[in-house]
Amino acid sequence: MFTSKQRSILRSKAQTIEPVGQIGKGGISETVKKNFSDALEAREIIKITVLNNVDDDINYLAQELADEINAEVVCVIGHKIVLYRRSNKKGIDHIKF
């Protein structure tokens, strides 16, 4: 879990990034999980768009995806999900709190 200050830092960083992918009616497949996990490893923070035709609750979907790929839900705003996971890659700028 994040402190309110950490969550604020992550939300401000998320405002400037573009969504890396989207979740549609098919839900969360293995390919989707792998792609988002790879994106988190490269960037540490990602934004995902949830399409209007998704039947599941977006908050539930966000938490399910985060649990599957060992990430933390930063926030859910409208149809956007922001996830964070510290990267193990060397040579990238880690987000500092």
The CATH code belonging to domain 4-84 is 3.30.110.60
Confidence label for 10 from pLDDT (cuts 50, 70 and 90): very high
Q: What is the pLDDT of residues 24-56, one digit of tens each?
A: 998 899 999 999 999 999 999 999 999 999 988
Domains of the chain, residue spans = 4-84
Buried/exposed code over 24-54 (b: 16+ C-beta within 10 A; e: otherwise): eeeeeeeebeeebbebbeebbbbbbbbeeeb
Q: What is the pLDDT of residues 58-74, one digit of tens each?
A: 999 999 999 999 999 99
Q: How far is it, in rounded angstroms, from Cα 28 to Cα 56? A: 11
Q: How far is it, in rounded angstroms, from Cα 84 to Cα 46? A: 7
Confidence label for 91 from pLDDT (cuts 50, 70 and 90): confident
What are the tokens at 61? 């979907």
**pTM for the full predicted model:** 0.94
- 95: Cα separation from own chain's centroid: 14
